Amino acid sequence: MKFFGNLLLIATSSNSILAVSVPDPAENEVDESAKTVTCHPRPKDGTVRVEHFKVNVAHAKSEARKAGFAPGRSGDPHRYMNRDRLHFGIHNCDKASALLLEYPIYADGMGGDWKKDIRTSEQDATPIRTVFANSHGGFIWCGVMTHETVDGDHHGSGHFKLCV
């Protein structure tokens, strides 16, 4: 991550200029040409080492399409209100009126796929979600996100952040 994305210069008087760092929105956007993305959660507490998760983008898109718009017995997919203000860099995913959905997926090497018609309690935990939009009945893939904090059993908590 770059420390200074953009530099905004503001003249405060004839003799001084104020420089302010402005985050670069592109840092947090999904690179649609990427074959994989990496999720970087924090450990839930200092005693657990949490690995970074790699996710195959084609698989994430495929799982989102397979999930569809209607929830199964697991309750997934379900609405994602984007209170985290994630910026996907895709118009139909970033607009305020977007109908976003999230669906659990597993990282590469974790094995298996989330089963929407099996209860969550009967499946292995995963902090990773594929995000997609229902745009007037049309499917638009937005990206992959993870919970900010993850425990040793892959239970996620807290806000979401993009996997890039």
| Residues marked as catalytic | 78, 102, 147
Q: Are 149 and 156 in contact (CB under 8 A)?
A: yes
Tell me the CA distances in angstroms from 9 to 18, 55, 67, 130, 158, one per residue in order: 6, 38, 47, 38, 35
Q: In whole angstroms, what is the distance from residue 86 CA to residue 144 CA?
A: 11
Q: In whole angstroms, what is the distance from residue 55 CA to residue 71 CA?
A: 23
Radius of gyration of the chain (CA): 18
Structural tokens at position 40:
């970087």
